[in-house]
C-alpha cells in the first residue's frame, strides 16, 4: 500500500536547500554544490545539482553549519566542512565526503567533537588542503580569528575509511576569518534560475471545500494556493510565522496561531479573510497556546506551556479541549514545577458553536483525566494527536531521558480517553513531526523523512517508507488528512505534497 505523490505545490529549483548559506561550482562537469541554513534544531542540507536541468543529484544533512565545500577534480565527490562554536570552549565539526553518484556519505574525523572545518581546497586528485579552527579557545583570544592549515593525502579518496583522520589536521597557525557566504549563495541561485524562491518550513496545511489549499510557514502567517497550483495570496507574519490552522464554519475566515520563535507556544491567534488574506481579528491569550479544531468544527485554545513542541498536546477533532499540565488545573502550565511532579492530561469543554472567537478554557471547567505517561515514574514529552470517533486519544510523544532520545523512545499510542489505558503503542527511534488520522488509519511523519501509516484498530503497520521527492528524501513537518487515504504533507523545504495511499 504505497504512498503516492500526486502533485507538488510550492516546488521550485533548489527547494531542498531551504535557505542558501554557501554555493560552489564545478564548471567543468556542470555541477553546483549548495548548502542551506535550516530552522532551529534540524540538520543542515547540502545538495549537488546539475547546472543544466537543476535536478538534485544527491543530498546530505549535516549536524553543524556548513563552512566550506570543494568538488574533487576527478572523482564524483564533494568535500564538505562543517562546524560551530559550542558557546563555552570548543569548536566542533565534521569533514564529510559526499558521493554525488551513490549518495554515500563518509565522516572522516576520528574524535567525539571533531574539528570545525573552515576551508577546503583540492590541490590535486590526491591532496586536500584543510583549514580547521583550534580545538578550543581556552586562554586563546585569537582562536576565533585563526586556524590550522594542513594538507591531507590519500591515494584514492573514493575508498577512504570513516573516522580515519585526526593527527594529520595539525598544522601551522594562520589567519582564518569566519566569512558569511549567504549573500553570494543567494546571488548564485538567483542567477541559475529566475524561478528560485526562498521558502521555509511548512507548519500546517488544510484543503478548502473549493479545492484551494492553505499553508502556514515559518515567516508567513498564512498563504492560499488555487486548485490550479498558483499562489492566490500570502499574509506575512512574524519571524516565527504561522503554526496551526483552523477554518471557520462560515468558510470565510481561517484562524492561525502565530509564534515569534520555535522556543515558545503561540502568543497570538489571528483571523484572516479567505478571500484576500486580510487580517480580520486577533486574540492575545494570557499564556502560550496551541490552536486546535474541535469535533464541532470550532477553534479552541489549548495551553501549551513555554517550550513547544515538547510540552504541547494539540488534539484534533476533540470532543473536549485537551492539554498537558504539571500543576493544579487553575495553573494550566506545561512547565514542570520543582519537586519532579509527573505531567497529567487535562480537558475542558469545547467551545459552544456560537462562539465568535477562539478562547482559553476557563480554569473552573478543567477536569484532570489521567497521567500523561502510562508508565509510573516515566516522564513523557507531548506531541500532536487526534480523538477517534470512538472517543479514544491517539497521540505522539517521546520518553524523557537524561542522555537524549533513546532507541524506542518515540511513540504513537491509542488510549482510552476515560482511563488513559493504552490499547496499543507503536515505538520508533525518531521523534514525530506531524500526525493525523482518518476512520481506519493513523498517518505519522518523522524528522528523518519517514512516513508511517498504522491501522487505527490495532496499531499494525500498513505502510512505512521514506518520503521521497525525485531522488532525495523530504522531511514531513505538517500532515492533514483531507479524505480517506488522501493527505496533504508540508515539508521542511517549503513544499506541499498532495498524496494518496494505494
The residue out of 149, 167, 192 marking a domain boundary is 192
DSSP secondary structure, 453-468, as one string:
EEETTT--EEEEEE-E
Q: Which three cell numbers stand for residue 145?
A: 580569528
pLDDT digits (tens, 9 = 90+) for 369-408: 999 999 988 889 999 999 999 999 999 999 988 888 899 9
Mean pLDDT, all residues of the chain: 91
Task: Flag whether pLDDT at 30 surpasses 90.
Answer: yes
Q: Does residue 273 sit within a domain?
A: yes
| Last residue of one domain, picked from the residues 192, 220, 239 | 192
Average pLDDT over residues 51-73: 95
Strand 315-316 relative to strand 385-387, pairing:
parallel
pLDDT reported for residue 339: 44
Q: What is the pLDDT of residue 326?
A: 67
Q: Which residues contact 112 (CB under 8 A, 6 or more apart)?
A: none
Q: Is residue 9 in a domain?
A: no
Mean pLDDT confidence for 452-467: 96
The residue with cell 498558483 is 230
The pLDDT tens digits for 398-444 are 998 888 889 999 999 999 988 999 999 999 999 999 999 999 999 99
pLDDT at 192 > cutoff 90 = yes
Give the torsion through C-alpha atoms of 216, 496, 430, 34, to 10 deg.
-100
The CA distance from 225 to 314, in Å, is 25
Q: What pLDDT is attached to residue 88?
A: 86
Distance separating alpha carbons of residues 109 and 192, to the nearest angstrom: 33
Do residue 175 and residue 239 come from a single domain?
Answer: no
Domain span at residue 243? 202-501
Q: Is residue 237's pLDDT more than 80?
A: no
If asked whether residues 208 and 77 sit together in one domain, one would say no
- Per-residue pLDDT averaged across 310-321, rounded? 88
Please indicate, yes or no, if residue 12 is contained in any of the structural domains.
no
The answer to whether 488 touches 211, Cβ cutoff 8 Å, is no
Average pLDDT (31-36) is 97
**Whether pLDDT at 80 is above 70:** yes
Same domain, 179 and 208: no
Average pLDDT, stretch 82-106? 94
In a domain? residue 149: yes
Residue 456 included in any domain = yes
Residue with cell 554515500: 104
In a domain? residue 211? yes
**Would you say 152 and 116 are in contact if contact means Cβ atoms under 8 Å apart?**
no
pLDDT (mean) for 274-302: 93
Q: Are the beta carbons of 242 and 258 closer than 8 angstroms? A: yes
Question: Residue 80: phi, psi to the nearest 5?
Answer: -130, 120
122 and 225 co-located in one domain: no
Closest Cα to residue 44, out of 11, 19, 8? 19
Ramachandran assignment for 500, one of left (phi > 0), alpha (psi -120 to 50 degrees), beta (any other): beta
pLDDT bin (cut points 50, 70, 90) of residue 236 is: confident
What H or E segment, with its residue span, contains residue 90?
none
Residue 309: pLDDT above 70? no
Closest CA to 218 of 205, 234, 231, 199: 199
- Residue 423 CA to residue 88 CA, distance in Å, equals 46
Q: Is residue 476 within 8 Å of 490, Cβ to Cβ?
A: yes
Is position 290 within any domain? yes
356 in the same domain as 231: yes
Q: Which of the two residues, 47 and 364, has the higher pLDDT score?
A: 47
* 338 has pLDDT over 50: no
Nine-digit cell at 276?
Answer: 484576500
- For residues 185 and 298, membership in a common domain is answered with no
Greater pLDDT, 313 or 239: 313
Q: Check whether residue 254 and residue 378 sit in a common domain.
A: yes
CA distances from 106 to 75, 112, 131, 279 (A): 15, 15, 19, 49
Asked whether residue 303 falls in the same domain as residue 422, the answer is yes
C-alpha cell at 464: 512505512
pLDDT (tens digit per residue) in 211-228:
999 999 999 999 999 999
Asked whether residue 4 is assigned to any structural domain, the reply reads no
- Residues 325 and 329: their CA atoms lie apart, in Å, by 8
Please give the pLDDT value at position 335: 45
Same-domain check for residues 360 and 258: yes
φ, ψ (nearest 5 deg) of residue 142:
-85, 0
Share of the chain above pLDDT 70, in %: 93
Query: Greater confidence, 72 or 1?
Result: 72
Backbone phi, psi, residue 16, to 5° = -65, -20
Looking at the structure of the chain, the number of domains it has is 2
HEC letters along 322-379: EEEECCCCCCCCCCCCCCCCCCEEEEEECCCCCCCCCCCCCHHHCEEEEECCCCCCCC
**pLDDT for 156-165, tens place per residue?**
999 999 999 9
**What CATH number is given to the structural domain containing 260?**
2.130.10.10
Phi, psi of 135 (to 5 degrees): -60, -40
167 and 225 housed in the same domain: no
Q: Do 402 and 468 reside in the same domain of the chain?
A: yes
pLDDT at 336 over 60: no
Q: Which residue did the predictor score with more confidence, 87 or 191?
A: 191
Same domain, 31 and 129: yes
pLDDT at 39 (0 to 100): 64
Round to whole Å and give the CA distance between 201 and 474.
11
Q: What integer is the mean pLDDT of 437-463?
A: 96
* pLDDT value of position 1: 67
Taking residues 79-102, report their average pLDDT: 95
Res 479 pLDDT > 70? yes
Residue where a domain terminates, one of 192, 225, 240? 192
pTM score of the predicted model: 0.87
Over residues 2-24, the mean pLDDT reads 93
Residue matched to cell numbers 535536478: 55
**Averaged pLDDT for residues 139-144:** 92
CA atoms of 243 and 101, how far apart (whole Å): 37
> Cα(410)–Cα(474) distance, rounded to whole angstroms?
20
Amino acid at each position: 500500500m504505497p504512498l503516492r505523490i500526486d502533485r507538488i505545490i510550492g516546488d521550485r529549483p533548489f527547494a531542498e536547500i531551504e535557505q542558501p548559506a554557501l554555493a560552489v561550482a564545478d564548471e567543468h562537469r556542470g555541477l553546483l554544490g549548495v548548502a542551506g541554513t535550516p530552522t532551529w534544531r534540524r540538520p543542515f542540507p547540502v545538495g549537488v545539482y546539475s547546472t543544466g536541468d537543476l535536478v538534485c543529484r544527491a543530498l546530505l544533512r549535516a549536524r553543524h553549519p556548513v563552512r566550506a565545500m570543494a568538488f574533487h577534480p576527478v572523482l564524483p565527490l564533494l568535500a564538505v566542512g562543517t562546524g560551530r562554536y559550542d558557546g563555552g570552549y570548543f569548536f566542533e565539526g565534521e569533514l564529510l565526503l559526499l558521493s554525488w553518484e551513490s549518495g554515500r556519505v563518509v565522516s572522516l574525523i576520528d574524535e567525539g567533537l571533531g574539528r570545525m572545518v573552515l576551508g577546503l581546497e583540492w590541490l590535486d586528485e590526491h591532496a586536500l588542503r584543510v583549514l580547521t579552527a583550534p580545538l578550543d579557545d581556552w586562554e586563546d583570544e585569537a582562536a576565533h580569528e585563526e586556524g590550522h592549515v594542513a594538507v591531507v593525502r590519500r591515494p584514492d579518496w573514493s575508498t577512504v575509511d570513516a573516522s580515519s583522520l585526526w593527527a594529520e589536521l595539525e598544522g601551522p597557525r594562520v589567519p582564518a576569518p569566519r566569512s558569511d557566504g549567504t549573500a553570494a549563495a543567494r546571488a548564485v541561485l538567483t542567477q541559475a534560475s529566475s524561478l528560485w524562491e526562498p521558502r521555509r518550513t511548512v507548519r500546517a496545511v488544510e484543503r478548502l471545500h473549493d479545492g484551494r489549499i492553505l499553508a502556514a510557514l515559518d515567516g508567513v502567517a498564512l498563504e492560499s494556493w488555487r486548485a490550479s497550483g498558483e499562489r492566490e495570496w500570502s499574509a506575512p507574519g512574524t519571524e516565527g510565522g504561522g503554526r496551526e490552522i483552523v477554518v471557520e464554519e462560515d468558510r470565510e475566515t481561517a484562524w492561525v496561531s502565530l509564534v515569534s520563535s520555535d522556543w515558545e507556544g503561540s502568543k497570538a491567534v489571528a483571523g484572516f479573510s479567505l478571500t484576500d488574506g486580510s487580517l480580520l481579528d486577533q486574540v492575545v491569550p494570557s499564556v502560550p497556546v496551541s490552536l486546535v479544531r474541535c469535533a464541532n468544527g470550532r477553534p479552541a485554545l489549548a495551553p501549551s506551556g513555554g517550550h513547544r513542541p515538547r510540552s504541547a498536546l494539540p488534539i484534533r477533532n476533540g470532543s473536549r479541549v485537551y492539554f498537558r499540565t504539571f500543576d493544579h488545573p487553575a495553573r494550566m502550565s506545561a512547565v514542570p514545577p520543582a519537586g519532579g511532579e509527573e505531567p497529567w492530561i487535562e480537558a475542558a469543554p469545547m467551545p459552544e458553536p456560537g462562539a465568535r472567537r477562539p478562547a482559553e478554557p476557563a480554569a473552573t471547567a478543567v477536569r484532570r483525566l489521567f497521567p500523561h505517561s502510562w508508565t509510573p515514574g516515566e516522564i513523557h514529552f507531548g506531541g500532536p494527536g487526534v480523538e477517534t470517533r470512538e472517543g479514544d486519544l491517539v497521540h505522539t510523544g517521546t520518553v524523557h531521558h537524561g542522555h537524549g532520545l533513546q532507541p524506542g523512545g518515540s511513540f504513537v499510542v491509542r488510549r482510552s480517553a476515560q482511563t488513559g489505558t493504552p490499547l496499543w503503542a507503536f515505538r520508533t527511534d525518531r521523534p514525530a513531526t506531524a500526525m493525523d488520522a482518518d476512520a481506519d488509519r493513523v498517518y505519522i511523519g518523522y524528522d528523518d523523512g519517514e512516513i508511517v501509516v498504522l491501522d487505527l484498530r490495532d496499531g499494525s503497520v500498513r505502510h512505512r517508507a521514506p518520503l521521497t521527492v525525485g531522488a532525495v528524501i523530504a522531511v514531513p513537518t505538517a500532515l492533514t488528512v483531507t479524505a480517506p487515504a488522501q493527505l496533504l504533507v508540508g515539508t521542511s523545504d517549503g513544499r506541499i505534497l498532495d498524496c494518496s495511499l494505494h
